[in-house]
Amino acid sequence: MKVKWVKAILFCVLGIILIVWVFRTLETEFTNISIQRLKEAGLLLSQSVPSRSYGQWISSTREQYPDILPFISEGNAEFGEKVRPVISSKEDQAFFDWAQSLPFYAYGLESTYYEEVYFYPKRIEWKGHPVYISFTPIIPEEVGYVTGTLILLHDGSVIRNYGNLLKGFAITFIVLLSCILFVNAFSKDPILVYTILIIFLIVGIFIAFPLYQAFRLTVMKDGVFTLEVWRHVLSNRNYLQALWGSILLGVLTATVSTAIGFLFAFTLTRTNVRGKGFYATMATLPVISPPFSLTLSLILLFGSYGLITRRILGLTNVDIYGLDGLVIVQTMGMFPIAFMVLSGVLEAIDSTFEEAAMNLKATRWKVFSTVTLPLSFPGIASAWLLVFTNSIADFANPLILAGKYKVLSVEAYLEVTGMNHLDIGATLSVLLLIPTFLAFGLQRYWISKKSYTTVTGKPTGRILEVVSPNVKKVLVALMVAISGFLLSLYATIVAGCFVKNWGIDYTFTFDNVVEALQRGKDAIGDTTLLAAIATPIAGLLAMIVAMIIVRKRFPGKGLMQAMVITPYAVPGTLVGISFIIAFNKPPLLLVGTAAIIIINYVVRELPVGVESGIASLKQIDPSIEEAAQSLGADTATVFRTIVLPLIRPAFISSLSYTFVRSMTAVSAVIFLISAKWYHMTILIYNFSENLRFGLASVLATTLMVIVLTVFWVLRFLVGKSSSLQKNIIVR
């Protein structure tokens, strides 16, 4: 053990010495070359110094060469001349006051009298700027001897920056070297340690750092702590209105969605209606429908030129934009979340309870209101909260449909892209986080403790008809109406592709398809390419993180898990804003690149993959992996040959999840796109903004086709879709 320590430290010290030597040499070499250049520039410049009216020459030179600051000292002390600084401005005065106190000033002047250039080799500071100082003799051609000294301040920031860069490299190398040496010396499993370190690095740079930067921006101005931005936001009526708007929208959507979700879940688990498969599909399908699709069809059907409102009913002053439209469209898109939570809960409630109640002579209504409903209360509450957080974080629907109604996510977007107020945008999206965290906390610490479902016995598998035939008819009628409405929305989108000019001219045409694909083909290509790159990265990374979290013990595991899961709770708007704040300057200048979009996809879709990986790994006996280890497989081989094949369903569903979510992303990616890298969903938004609903419909339909195809392929690959749906539900 001691020998190992000594060896590691020895190698480390040797390595550090070597690295320092190499980088010092590089830096000195660069500095020398640069100084040589600066010297030559000085000599060249000195030839242009006139014999009189220095002042004008100085000011014109300063204008011409911004990185050189010339001063002139007149006279040659060697000849007994009086030496006199040329002072024609305040700056000259300040310079000479400062320069004459420099210890080498006299020596520098003196050198020039012997026709030598003196260059002080060290970097000094002048008014807070890094500079080099040189003394060059002025030898006018017509005179032929030294008449004065040209003193130059050369901008040293380039050399300094280069030096800093080298230092950065050196430190990185030293850290890397000592890491490698110590890990190899003291770890039984270096690959694992490196993996953990790399994951921490990724998580730190791409999750913690941007969020930290965003928070910082809300409380810092010019490097000073201040609550000014918060005061500004919280005292502004517009923003408060937006906050209230988000909350009101969330409450309404959550309530209606939970009611509809309960209707479907209850009818499907507690009665024996026919066509359960159809209703279940209807109640899950909208989860994977691309953004803007439901919004678009709602506008096409009920907008001011809508098929139903204008054409069929002949109404002229309908306004679907605003709260009503938003609640409708969000409910259609989000009631499946409530449905999935509630059907899980209702399935878990043993119907023996209901049988027992009926046996005790309770009426059907009594059974429902005193047994079924109270038992499913925790499920109802968590469904409500889940929809609420989703509604609040929603960005795509309000972006098009909000009209004059204000919500936080859109307001944050407008501040950032419209006004370039990054700080206000960040503050608004942090504000958005508060209700989300409250809901999360409530769910975790209150509702989960109230859950009764775990104490029940095995379900009997039989269904007790707890509703009377008439009530059942009403329930079915409601489900049919909602399903019909949903189907008509989807049909409208498809129809919208082939109509010349919706609302005015309903003739059949392929023009829209041709034009949309023409104009969108780059965006479609980009979107697919970026999603395809992000997918395997996110999928593999998620599985690796899951394996490390479930199977390995290491310090900081809880922190890693928390950080990986964070982007799941953070609204996309905040993620997008924090990314542009964090990655708009070197060394991490990523804004405008494809990398930032890919990284954003990976980071945002990682939590779901990690969670499903963890869930399925926990089902697997650890001795399977240990058996492989004891047969000679190292950690990487165990992952490749044992873990990955065993959690294949989780892996594939996480791949598909990432792909679909990346293809349909809006909220974060809208901040990150550039002219070079565009996203289909944003193009849909642009088309609808310009009232080109036909083009928007074509792209939305294309997205739907892509998404559905992916799911079909997956269903084929995984066999069962249950784990898939479970994964999709969460957002």
Partner 1 sequence: MPASSVSLTNVYKAFKGFKGEEILAVDDVSFRIEPGAFVTLLGPSGCGKTTSLRMIAGFENPTKGKIKIDEEDVTFIPPWKRDTAMVFQSYGLFPHMNVGDNVGYGLKMRKVTTSERHKKVSAILDLVGLSGFEERPPSSLSGGQQQRVALARALVVEPSVLLFDEPLSNLDVLLREQMRVEIRRIQQKTGITAIYVTHDRTEAMTLSDTVIVMNKGKIVQTGTPFDIYEEPNSIFVADFMGKMAYFPVKILAWEGKDAIVELYDKKLSVRVAKNVTPNDSQRYILACRPESMKMQENGKGVVPGVITTNVYLGNAIESYIKTEFGEVMVKSELPKEGLRPEGSPVSLSIREDKAVLLPLDPGIDGLSLNKANI
Residue from the set 645, 675, 716, 720 that interacts with partner 1 by CB under 8 A: 645
The distance from CA 464 to its chain's CA centroid, rounded to whole angstroms, is: 48
Cis bond before residue 587 (omega within 30° of 0):
yes
Query: 173-199 b/e with 16+ CB inside 10 Å = b?
Result: bbeebbebbbbebeeeebebbebbeeb
Residues in the chain, how many? 731
> Residue 620 CB, nearest distance to partner 1 (Å)?
9
Q: Between the CA atoms of 346, 351, 356 and 361, what dihedral angle is there, to the nearest 10 degrees?
A: 70
Task: State in angstroms the smallest separation of the CB of 14 from partner 1.
Answer: 23
Compare residues 610 and 638 and give the one whose CB is closer to partner 1. Answer: 638
The continuous run of DSSP H or E covering 356 comes out as helix 351-359
Chain centroid to Cα 137, Å, comes to 58
Q: Coil, strand or helix: which one is 21?
A: helix
Nearby residues of 45 by Cβ (< 8 Å), 6 or more positions away: 61, 65, 68, 70, 136, 150, 152
Q: Are the CB atoms for 410 and 393 separated by under 8 Å?
A: no
Task: Check residue 633 for interaction with partner 1 (CB under 8 A).
Answer: yes
Q: Does 234 bind partner 1 (CB under 8 A)?
A: no
Residue among 352 and 637 whose Cβ is closer to partner 1: 637
Residue 628 binds partner 1, judged by CB under 8 A = yes
Question: Which residues fall within 8 angstroms of residue 681, CB to CB, at 6 or more apart?
Answer: 290, 291, 292, 396, 527, 664, 665, 666, 669, 703
CB of 631 to partner 1, least distance (A): 3
By CB under 8 A, tell whether 6 contacts partner 1.
no
- Counting contacts by CB under 8 A, is residue 128 touching partner 1? no
559 counts as binding partner 1 under rule CB under 8 A: no
Structure tokens at 551: 């199977």
Say how far residue 154 (Cα) sits from the centre of its chain. Answer: 42
**Looking at the DSSP assignment, which residues form a beta bridge with residue 155?**
131
The residue (of 441 and 622) whose beta carbon lies closer to partner 1 is 622
The answer to the question of residue 3 lying near partner 1 (CB under 8 A) is no
Give the interface segment with partner 1, choosing from 265-273, 437-445, 490-498, 641-649 (CB under 8 A): 641-649
Q: What count of other Cβ atoms lies within 10 Å of the Cβ of residue 691? A: 15
CB of 557 to partner 1, least distance (A): 13
Nearer of residues 189 and 347 to partner 1, judged by Cβ: 189
Beta-carbon count within 10 A of 333 CB: 26
Site for partner 1 in 683-712 (CB under 8 A): none
Q: Does 505 bind partner 1 (CB under 8 A)?
A: no
Closest separation in Å from C-beta 6 to partner 1: 16
Token output for 696: 């928007």
Q: Identify which range of 238-246, 473-481, 566-574, 628-636 contacts partner 1 by CB under 8 A.
A: 628-636
Q: How far is the CB of 653 from partner 1 (least distance, A)?
A: 17
Task: Please report, as a single letter, which amino acid is at residue 164.
Answer: N
Q: With DSSP H G I counted as helix, E B as strand and the rest as coil, what are the percentages for the chain, rounded to 5? A: 70, 5, 25
**For residue 521, how many other CB atoms are within 10 A of its CB?**
10
Asked if 632 interacts with partner 1 (CB under 8 A), we say yes
Among 446, 626, 676, 689, binds partner 1 (CB under 8 A): 626
From 195-203, 323-331, 369-377, 625-633, span contacting partner 1 (CB under 8 A): 625-633
Our finding on whether 623 is near partner 1 (CB under 8 A) is yes
Compare residues 122 and 188 and give the one whose CB is closer to partner 1.
Answer: 188
Q: How far is the CB of 704 from partner 1 (least distance, A)?
A: 35
627 binds partner 1 (CB under 8 A): yes
Q: Which two tokens stand for residue 683?
A: 């193009």
Coil, strand or helix at 675: coil
Question: Contact between 642 and partner 1 (CB under 8 A)?
Answer: yes
In the list 235, 454, 470, 630, the residue contacting partner 1 (rule: CB under 8 A) is: 630
CB of 193: closest distance to partner 1 in angstroms? 12
* Best CA proximity match to 684, nearest among 671, 697, 668: 697
Q: Of residues 3, 360, 455, 631, which one binds partner 1 by CB under 8 A?
A: 631
In whole angstroms, give the CA distance from residue 61 to residue 66.
8
By CB under 8 A, residue 621 contacts partner 1: yes
Residues from 575 through 594 that contact partner 1 (CB under 8 A): none
Is position 555 an interface residue for partner 1 (rule: CB under 8 A)? no
* Nearest to partner 1 of 124, 615 (CB atom): 615
Does residue 360 interact with partner 1 by CB under 8 A? no
Q: Which residues of 80-119 are buried (b: 16+ CB within 10 A; e: fewer)?
A: eeeeebbbeeeebeebbeebeeeeebeebbbbbbeeebbb
List 637, 686, 721, 725, residue binding partner 1 (CB under 8 A): 637
Q: Which of residues 263 and 652 has its CB atom nearest to partner 1 in the complex?
A: 652
Strands (E), 165-298: 220-221, 224-225
The contact mask relative to partner 1 for 178-197 (x = CB under 8 A, - = no) is: --------x-xx--------
Interaction between residue 634 and partner 1 (CB under 8 A): yes
Nearest to 322, CA basis, from 405, 423, 383? 405
- Pairing type for strands 148-155 and 129-138 reads antiparallel
Q: Quick check: 558 binds partner 1 (CB under 8 A)?
A: no
Among 356, 532, 624, 705, binds partner 1 (CB under 8 A): 624
Structure tokens at 587: 């060394």
Count of residues interacting with partner 1 (CB under 8 A) = 20
The CA-CA-CA angle for residues 334, 337, 338, to 5°, reads: 100
Tell me which residues touch partner 1 (CB under 8 A): 186, 188-189, 621, 623-624, 626-634, 637, 641-642, 645-646
